[in-house]
Amino acid sequence: MREIVTYVFGLALLGNACLFVPQALAIWRKKSDEGVSLVTFGGFCILQVIGVVHGFYEHDNSLIVGLGASFLTCGTVTLLTIVYRLRRLRAVASNPLA
């Protein structure tokens, strides 16, 4: 039974990683950070890195792979948000009357 729960947990973590993909695609297509909380996604990234480190120390491959994949997809959202936010802020700074 323990092996089944471990397997399902690993699949759930990979499913969690997939949940960030639509947000990353939306940001990419709109080329805008509008409506995305950098604090929220940055916080998710920090928690996922902590989970990967914990998985490493506990020798838990489900945590390492699942949260590593989540960090990759959530990190993509975070990075895209930063890129488009900086572009938007630079555009406003260079044209303050617009």
Q: Domain 2-94 has what CATH class?
A: mainly alpha
Taking only the tens place, the pLDDT of each residue in 9-35 is 888 999 999 999 999 999 999 999 999
pLDDT band of residue 97 (cuts 50, 70, 90) is confident
Contact status, residue 71 vs residue 79, Cβ threshold 8 Å: no
Q: Which residues contact 11 (CB under 8 A, 6 or more apart)?
A: none
Q: Which residues contact 56 (CB under 8 A, 6 or more apart)?
A: 64
Domain range annotation of the chain: 2-94
Taking only the tens place, the pLDDT of each residue in 63-95 is 999 999 999 999 999 999 999 999 999 998 888
CA distance 81 to 70: 16
Q: Give the least confident one: 43-47, 58-62, 67-71.
A: 58-62
Which pair of structure tokens corresponds to residue 61? Answer: 């491959």
**pLDDT of the residue at 66:** 93
pLDDT band of residue 98 (cuts 50, 70, 90) is low
